């Protein structure tokens, strides 16, 4: 998921590129050509403004390169102690286990699962698409109980809460007989 700063930055950058493209389009069509040229001339003639312009564009370019090459993988782990020693499980592994268990539940068509740390322990954020012919409260309750017990049995850790959001009702899949 994108961080809030990345979203705001992308929005501002998108608006700036939209304004720049509109100015270039107008300039190429002969509309406002003198205004765009006079503004650019004013910026590059003033040394302080041109320095500020290049510092800002350089910072933007550096940030965009950092975003492009940033590793999406996280090494965040959950650690707990057993009588045999310490156990570390990555957040991604817990999400994968929960996704495997969610796919086995009747009526669940697709799922996105995220792990969130809370004051009371680990919580699962589950967003699912369900089949149109199932009871949504029953599927939600079954998800809550089965995901918690599956993680407890396989990973040995307790899940404090399972938040279920029904994202969509999936299309009914019917097989055709020829």
Model confidence pLDDT, tens digit, residues 94-152: 999 999 999 999 999 989 999 998 888 889 999 999 998 899 999 999 999 999 999 99
Q: At what angle do helices 47-69 and 33-45 cross, to 10 degrees?
A: 100
Q: How far apart are CA 113 and CA 125, in angstroms?
A: 6
Domain ranges, residue 112 = 77-169
pLDDT at residue 1, rounded to an integer: 47
Average pLDDT for 24-32: 70
178 lies in some domain: no
Per DSSP bridges, beta strands 121-130 and 159-169 are parallel
123 lies in some domain: yes
161, 95: one domain: yes
Average pLDDT across the chain, whole number: 82
Into how many domains does the chain fold?
2
Q: How far apart are CA 133 and CA 167, in angstroms?
A: 15
101, 153: one domain: yes
Lowest mean pLDDT among 33-42, 61-70, 127-136: 33-42
89, 27: one domain: no
92, 163: one domain: yes
146, 95: one domain: yes
Q: What are the start-end ranges of the H helices in the chain? A: 4-28, 33-45, 47-69, 91-103, 136-155
82, 146: one domain: yes
């Amino acid at each position: 998921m994108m961080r809030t700063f990345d979203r705001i930055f992308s929005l501002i950058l998108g608006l700036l590129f939209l304004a720049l493209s509109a100015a270039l389009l107008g300039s190429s069509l002969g509309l406002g050509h003198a205004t765009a040229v006079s503004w650019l001339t004013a910026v590059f003639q003033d040394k302080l403004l041109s320095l500020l312009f290049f510092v800002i564009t350089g910072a933007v370019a550096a940030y965009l390169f950092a975003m492009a090459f940033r590793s999406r993988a996280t090494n965040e782990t959950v650690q707990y102690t057993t009588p045999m020693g310490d156990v570390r499980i990555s957040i991604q592994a817990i999400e994968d286990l929960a996704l495997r268990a969610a796919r086995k539940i009747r009526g669940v068509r697709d799922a996105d699962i995220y792990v969130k740390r809370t004051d009371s322990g680990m919580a699962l954020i589950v967003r699912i698409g369900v089949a149109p012919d199932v009871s949504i409260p029953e599927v939600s309750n079954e998800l809550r109980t089965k995901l918690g017990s599956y993680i407890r049995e396989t990973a040995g850790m307790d899940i404090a809460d399972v938040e279920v959001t029904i994202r969509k009702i999936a299309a009914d899949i019917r097989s055709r007989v020829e």
